[in-house]
Structure 1
C-alpha cells in the first residue's frame, strides 16, 4: 500500500546488513528455482551456488561481453523457463499484480502488469538484477540493445516502450553455450482505459480484459514452453489464457533412431558373412556405396544427436532406439523417455534378418510397440541446431511436413549402375505415378522426417510386394523403396495427410575438402534448424577426420543429455568446468 516514491525512500534508510539479508533470500530462491527447472527439463541438479560449477562468468555473446550465471546442465528451454520463474518470483515478492499472456512472441513467455504498477515493478526488478546480474531492453531489441538491469539509466531508456524483454543470462560449464535475450521473457505494461486493461501490442487471444478480472492459477508450462514439455511451478492468468489454442500441438510426438555399432566384432562378422554369401544366400553384387564401411561408421554421433534433442526439443515424449541387439556403453537404458528396440521385435518376417539395409529397417518402424501416431525419424548423423518447436515438423491438425531438396531424381527406371539413393528415388517415383498419375521430381533433404504410423501402415498394404521386397533386401538394392524418407511424404501428400514445409538446413559431407570450414562456420553462427554430418565414401585420413568431427561435436553440444550414464568418463569430461581465468575478462 506504500507509494513507490515513498518506498524507495524507506529502502534507502534500511541498514546495509538488513538489505544484504533480503538479497540473500533472493539468492536462495533463485538457486532453488534454477535447480528445479534444470532437473525438470531432464538435466542434472546444480552445484552449490558458490562452487566452481555455479558462479558468475563474463562471456562473449554475439560480439559483446555479458554477465552470465554458470549452470550445470543448462539448456535453451530450461533457461527460458528459469527467466519466467525469476520474473514471477520478483513480482510476487513485491505484491505486484500480474497475469501471464499467450503473447505476440510465440515461443517466449509473456507477463502483463497494469501500467499503473510499472514503477513498482521496475523497482523490484532492479533489486533482483542487483543480486543476479541480468539485462533489460525493448521487446523487439536485438542482443546489442539489451542493457544491465541493475542500472536506473537502463530503465529510463526503455520507459517509452510498452513491452520489454528481461533476461538473466546462463552459460554451461564449458561456456560454449550462452543463453541470452533470445531465451528471455517479455514484460508488458497494460494501460487502463474505461475500466479495462488494454494490450500494448497484439497477442493471439484478446485485446483487453476487465480491470477486476479474476485470476486463475495454472502451470507455468502453459506459458514457459510449448505444451507437452515439462517445467515446474504455477502462474496467475485470466480466463482467456487458460485454454489451449488451435495452434497448440496437443498430440504426443516421439522420436525414432536407427543405429548400428560398426566396432562390434560379432556384427561385423555377420555383415561380412552375408555379403560374401556364407550364410545360406548367394554372394550379392552390390554398388560401391551400398555396403562400404563409411556407411556404417559410428563416431558416437548418436550421443550428440541425443544431446541436441535434449537441448533444443524437450517436447519429445519418448525416444526409441532401433538396433541389431546393440546398446551404446554410455546409454542409460533406465532413463525416463528412452526405449531400446531390437530388429527382431519389429520385423514382420524374421527371415529377413539379419539386415544391413536402412531401407529395410525403415519399412518396419510403424511396428514399434507403443510408438505414437506422430513421430520424427532420425539417423544418428542428423542434429538439431537451435531451439525448435513441434510446428516446424507438424501442423496442429495432425498433418506432417516434408522438406524437399533442390536435387532432382534422375530420369529413367532404376538400374544396377545407379547410386543407391537414386535407384530408390526412381522406385518411389514409379509407385506414385502408378497410383496417382503424377510425377515426382525432387529428393528429400537429409533432415528429421516427420512421419505418421497410419500412413506407413497404409503403404505396407497398398504396395505389399514392393514393401516385402524392400524388407528382405539385406543390403541396399536397386529394387529398394525409400518408404520413410520419400514414399511416405509423397503418398501422404496425395492422400491429404502431408504437406511441404521449410526449415533452415545444412548438409556437410565429411570427406569434402571444405568440411572443416563449414563446420567452423556452423559452430560460429549456430543459425541452422537442423544439419547432417554424412559419410558416403571413406576418408583418406580417418584419424584426422575423427578428431575434426569429435572437436566440433564436443563444442556444439557440450551439455550431456539425461540419456547418458552419469558414471561414464565422457559425462564427467563434459561437465567439468574450465578454469575461470580462461573465461573471465578482467575489468
Structure 2
C-alpha cells in the first residue's frame, strides 16, 4: 500500500506573512479577531520534530508533502542534499487553490485542509499532520489503513441538543444572550457529521494524525461543489466551517469503510494552559506507556521558559 504524509505549516513570525495578514485585515475592514491573533501562526520549530519523527518512526511513507504559503521550512533546506531529499514535496497554496485563487491569501487551516486532496501526485491513502503533531514511537501502515479501510481514533457522542443536559445548556445560553466568538472544535465536528448524514450522533476525533482517502473527498466535493467553495472561502477560521478530516471520517463510516482502533493514543500537551506539574506528569507517563504513539504540543512558545526547555529536551530525547 502506498501512503503519503501531508503536513501544513506556516511561519507567522515571517515579516512577509505578518504584512500579508495585516494588509488583508485592513482591506476587509475587520478588527483583529481571536482567530487572527499572531500566536495562532507562531512557529517554535515544531515542524522539525514533526518531520524527524516521521523519518524515524514511519520511514514507510512514500512522500512527505509540506503545504506552505510561499515559505520553506529550514529543515527542508538542510535535508535537500541528504538521502531523504527526494521524499519531500513542497506544495504552495496556489497549487491546491488552483481555480479558487480569489480566496487567497488564506490564514485558515480549515480552508487549507479542505483543499489537501488536490495536491498533485498525492497518494490515494494519506495521513494529515498538523505541524504540532509528532510520532513518539514506531508505527505501521496498518495503524492507519487496514483491510481496505481507514483506521479511526475517537468515540461516538450524541449531537448537541439530543440530550437533556445539552438542551438545558443551550437554553441558558439563549437566556444570557451568549454571543461567544470562539470557534469551537466540537461544534465543527458535529456540523461535519450532519453534512455527511449523521443527524443524531457524531464521531469525536482525537487530535492525532488523520488518515484519509483522496477518492472519498474527491467524490464528495464533486457531488457538492458548493460546499467546497464555501468552506475554502473563509480567510480566517469561522463557525460556519466544517472540518474536512471529520467529514472524511463520517463518510468512511457511512460506507462501512472505517475501523475503530484506540489501542494507540495521543499525549495532549497545552503547556501555556496546563500547570507545569501536570505537563511533567504527562511526559513521565508517556515515557512508560507503550501505547502513547502520538503527541500534540500546542502553543509551545507561550509556555514559561522552564516548561519550554523541559518539553524541548524531552522531544529531542524521544524523537532524536
TM-score band (shorter)? 0.7 to 0.9
Shift of 1:525: 4.9
Which residue of the partner structure matches residue 174 of structure 2? none
* 1:374 is aligned to 2:125: yes
Preserved contact between residue 189 and residue 242 of structure 2 (Cα < 8 Å): yes
Which residue of the partner structure matches residue 167 of structure 1? none
1:192-207 maps to which residues of 2 (within 5 A)? none
> Which of 433, 439, 452 is the aligned partner of 2:200?
439
* 1:522 is aligned to 2:286: yes
Which residue of the partner structure matches residue 8 of structure 2? 258
1:12-411 maps to which residues of 2 (within 5 A)? 251-274=1-24, 277-279=25-27, 281-283=28-30, 286=33, 288=34, 290-331=35-76, 332-333=79-80, 335-348=85-98, 349-397=100-148, 399-405=149-155, 410-411=160-161
Separation in 2, partners of 1:407, 1:333: 45
Preserved contact between residue 392 and residue 503 of structure 1 (Cα < 8 Å): no
Shift of 1:526: 5.5
> Which of 211, 227, 231 is the aligned partner of 1:450?
211
Q: How many residues align?
A: 295
Which residue of the partner structure matches residue 262 of structure 2? 502
Separation in 2, partners of 1:293, 1:285: 10
SS at match of 2:189: helix
Distance 1:428 1:441, change over 3 A: same
Which residue of the partner structure matches residue 151 of structure 1? none
Larger Rg: 1
Separation in 2, partners of 1:327, 1:439: 43
SS at match of 2:145: coil
Shift of 1:444: 0.5
Distance 1:297 1:522, change over 3 A: farther
* 1:535 is aligned to 2:320: no
Could you state the TM-score of these two structures normalised by the residue count of structure 2?
0.83
> Which of 547, 567, 570 is the aligned partner of 2:309?
547
Shift of 1:549: 2.7
Shift of 1:406: 7.2
Please tell me the root mean square deviation across aligned C-alpha atoms, in Å. 2.5
1:468-479 maps to which residues of 2 (within 5 A)? 468-479=229-240
Distance 1:339 1:431, change over 3 A: same
Separation in 2, partners of 1:383, 1:504: 13
Q: Deviations over 1:412-441 (max 9, x none)?
A: 89x754533133123213313xxx364233
Preserved contact between residue 208 and residue 295 of structure 2 (Cα < 8 Å): yes
Separation in 2, partners of 1:405, 1:392: 17
SS at match of 1:255: strand
Moved segments of 4+, more than 6 Å: none
Distance 1:540 1:256, change over 3 A: closer
Shift of 1:405: 4.5
Q: Deviations over 1:176-211 (max 9, x none)?
A: xxxxxxxxxxxxxxxxxxxxxxxxxxxxxxxxxxxx
Unaligned runs of 5+ in 1: 1-250, 559-587
Distance 1:430 1:416, change over 3 A: farther
Distance 1:285 1:405, change over 3 A: farther
Separation in 1, partners of 2:53, 2:285: 18
Could you state the TM-score of these two structures normalised by the residue count of structure 1?
0.47
SS at match of 2:146: coil
Preserved contact between residue 416 and residue 478 of structure 1 (Cα < 8 Å): no
Which residue of the partner structure matches residue 461 of structure 1? 222
SS at match of 1:529: strand
